[in-house]
Structure formats: C-alpha cells, structure tokens
Structure 1
C-alpha cells in the first residue's frame, strides 16, 4: 500500500511539473509607460504619462499629468474619463471609467485605471485620440500634440 501511495505521489508531482512547463506565459504590454505632450485648451497642457497594464484581453490605462492640476479639491472617483487611443491598422480603442484618486486643489491630475479591451497584436497610440474628462459637469478635452514616446503600446 505504501508503494502505491508513493507511486501516486510521484505521478502527481510529475504531472504538476509538466503542467508548469506548458503553462502559458503571462501576457504583457510594451512599453508599460509612455509620455506625451497634451493640449487641454483653456485648462492647460504639457507633459503627461500614460501607464498601461494587460491581463489577457483586459487592459487598463492610467494618465497622470503635472501640466494640468486640479482647480479645486476633488473626491475619489469623481472624474468621468474616456481615453480614446488610435489603432495602428485603423479604428480606435476606448478606455472608460469614473476612476481617480482624491486630489487637493493644485494636485497633479490623475485618472484611472481606465479599463478597456484589447486583442493580441493591438498597437495603440495617443496621438490622434483624446482624453475627455467630465468634472463637476464641465467637460475637458485633451489631445496629444505629437506621437507618444518611446512609441505605441503593443499588446501580447
């Protein structure tokens, strides 16, 4: 009986190791961070940082900019944001949510993580797209003034 239990344990262990060897690799987006220069009209403009994450077909984008600051104190999850990025092959991908940290007046603006759906091989760029933020009933639209650096986000 002891020999059967030992044999079963070895078989289970071997199957577990085999399963690990054939487990799919984690998906990743490259680059994870990109910078761009944005124009937000009368609300300001300047450098912004976009951070991307990926988990399968689910992706998130977070934008932070010291060039645009909170005009007044804003509560957590009080900014409705829609980030539209341009696909390399044509079309757009949208990331939308009411997701932001609490901000004091004068703090750098940050929105996200904004969820969206991507496909393997998608190449997304901020230039040509936009970020629309609705704050206390006021809509602020920001657009990139040139391509993001170091380049578009490419999803696995």
Structure 2
C-alpha cells in the first residue's frame, strides 16, 4: 500500500509541475512575415521603396514604416508626425494603425513613422496595397499609397 501512495504522490507532483510549467510558459504569438517591402507613391512629396515591420503581442500589434526613398521635406522633431496606416483584409475591410511616434529627422533624412498601434484578431491577413499611410506634418496632410502588393505577402497574425 505504501508503494502505491508514493507512486500516486509522484504522479500528482509531476502533473502539478507540468501544469505549472504550462502556466508560466511564454505565449508563442507571431506575425509572419515580420517585414515586407512596398513601393509607395506620396504624390508631390515623392515616393519609392519602403519597408513595413510588424510585431504582435496577443491582439495588440504595431507597424513601423521606414523608407530611404521617401525623405523628410522639413526638419521634424521627435513624435511630431501624426500617422494612420490603413491595411486591407481579403474581404475589403480595413484595420488602422495609428500613433504619433517618429524619430527626429533633418531635411532630407529617410522617413520613419511608428511603431503605430493597432488591434488584430488571430488569423487576420493584412495587406498595404489598397490601403494608405496618412501623415500630418505641421498641419499638412500627406497621403501615401502602395503601388502594388507587398512582398513577400500580406501580414498574417497568429
């Protein structure tokens, strides 16, 4: 009888440790791809190649746009560009990523906006083509649009 109790106790202890391990294990949430290339047209403000970088933590996601082809038309202070990046789902609905985060930029510096905050659901597939990036700089609205699908493909959120 004594052997059965210690065997049962060991099994319960092992089960408890396994459950505790699962409770403390980090959640594996990822977006793929983590970066995608686009070509953007910003009208009179220029255009060219840009990179979108995505990150996800549960339903919270961020996107950052960087471009050496799109440059700052004026010297800009840190966190002075109000931005909304709208991406499109396969069904035509959109998801917006917004924020006022950017590094300080001198005239002619590459443009970086973000990370911009948005909310996603598991399985969301988001594409820049068909959406837009709207930035407001010193009260001047600037709209950029992707001229084709992003590469290597849409962002798919876990």
Give your verdict on TM over 0.5.
yes
Match for residue 150 of structure 2?
148
For residues 1-27 of structure 1, the C-alpha deviation after alignment (integer angstroms, 9 at most, x for no partner) is xxxxxx9xx94x863443224646421
**Structure-2 separation of matches of 1:114 and 1:70:** 18
**Structure-1 separation of matches of 2:89 and 2:124:** 7
Alignment length, in residue pairs?
Answer: 147
Which segments of 5 or more consecutive residues in structure 2 lack a partner in the other structure?
A: 1-8
Match for 2:108 among 106, 109, 112?
106
Q: Give the aligned CA root-mean-square deviation in angstroms.
A: 1.8
Match for residue 125 of structure 2?
123
Match for residue 56 of structure 1?
58
**Contact 2:80–2:137 (Cα < 8 Å) also in 1:** yes
Match for 1:88 among 87, 90, 93?
90
Which segments of 5 or more consecutive residues in structure 1 lack a partner in the other structure?
A: 1-6
**Contact 1:88–1:122 (Cα < 8 Å) also in 2:** no
For residues 12-63 of structure 1, the C-alpha deviation after alignment (integer angstroms, 9 at most, x for no partner) is x863443224646421000000000000000000000000000000000000
Which one has a bigger Cα radius of gyration? 2
Following TM superposition, by how much is the alpha carbon of 1:72 offset from its aligned partner in structure 2, in angstroms?
A: 2.0
**Structure-2 separation of matches of 1:146 and 1:133:** 20
> Could you tell me the TM-score, scaled by structure 2's length?
0.87
